[in-house]
Amino acid sequence: MTRYATIKSTGRYIPEIEVSNDELRERFAHIPHFVSKMEESSAITTRWWAPDDWATSDLALPAARQALERAGRAPEEVDLIILGTDSPDYTTPATSVVLQHKLGAVNAGTFDVGCACASFPTGLTIAAGMIATNPSLETVLVVGVYLMHKLAAPDDPMIFFYGDAAGAAVLGPAEAPGFVSSASQAGGEYHGYWGIYAGGTYEPATEQAVREGRTQVRMVERYPPEINHEGWPRLVRRLAANGGFNVEDIDLAIFTQVRKPSIELVMADLGLPMERAHTVMEKWGYTGSACVPIAFDDAIEQGKAKSGDLVVFVGSGVGYNQAGAAFRLA
What does the DSSP assignment read for 62-130? HHHHHHHHHHT--GGG--EEEEE-SS-S-SSS-HHHHHHHHHT-TT-EEEEE-SGGGHHHHHHHHHHHH
For residue 325, pLDDT beyond 80: yes
For residue 188, pLDDT beyond 90: yes
Length of the chain measured in residues: 330
Q: Which residue has the higher pLDDT, 149 or 2?
A: 149
Phi, psi of 129 (to 5 degrees): -65, -40
For residue 1, pLDDT beyond 90: no
pLDDT at 294: 98
The Cα 317–Cα 302 span in angstroms is 27
Q: What percent of the chain has pLDDT over 70?
A: 100
Mean pLDDT value across the chain: 97
Mention every residue, 6+ apart, whose C-beta is less than 8 A from residue 217.
148, 151, 152, 156, 158, 194, 195, 196
H/E element holding 143? strand 140-146
Q: 19 with 48: CB under 8 angstroms?
A: yes
pLDDT at 174: 94
Q: Which tens digit of pLDDT belongs to each residue from 265-321?
A: 999 999 999 999 999 999 999 999 999 999 999 999 999 999 999 999 999 999 999
The Cα 325–Cα 303 span in angstroms is 21
Domains of the chain: 4-174 (3.40.47.10), 180-189+222-328 (3.40.47.10)
pLDDT at 50: 98
For residue 2, pLDDT beyond 90: no
Q: Which tens digit of pLDDT belongs to each residue from 88-132?
A: 999 999 999 999 999 999 999 999 999 999 999 999 999 999 999
Q: Which tens digit of pLDDT belongs to each residue from 19-67?
A: 999 999 999 999 999 999 999 999 999 999 999 999 999 999 999 999 9
Nearest to residue 127, comparing CAs of 117, 113, 142? 142
Strand-pair category, 140-146 with 80-84? parallel
> Which segments of 148-279 does DSSP mark as H helices, in order?
207-211, 226-243, 260-270
**212: exposed, middle or buried (C-beta count within 10 Å: 0-12, 13-18, 19+)?**
exposed
The Cα 201–Cα 27 span in angstroms is 34
Strand-pair category, 218-219 with 194-195? antiparallel
Mean pLDDT along residues 196-221? 96
pLDDT at 327: 98
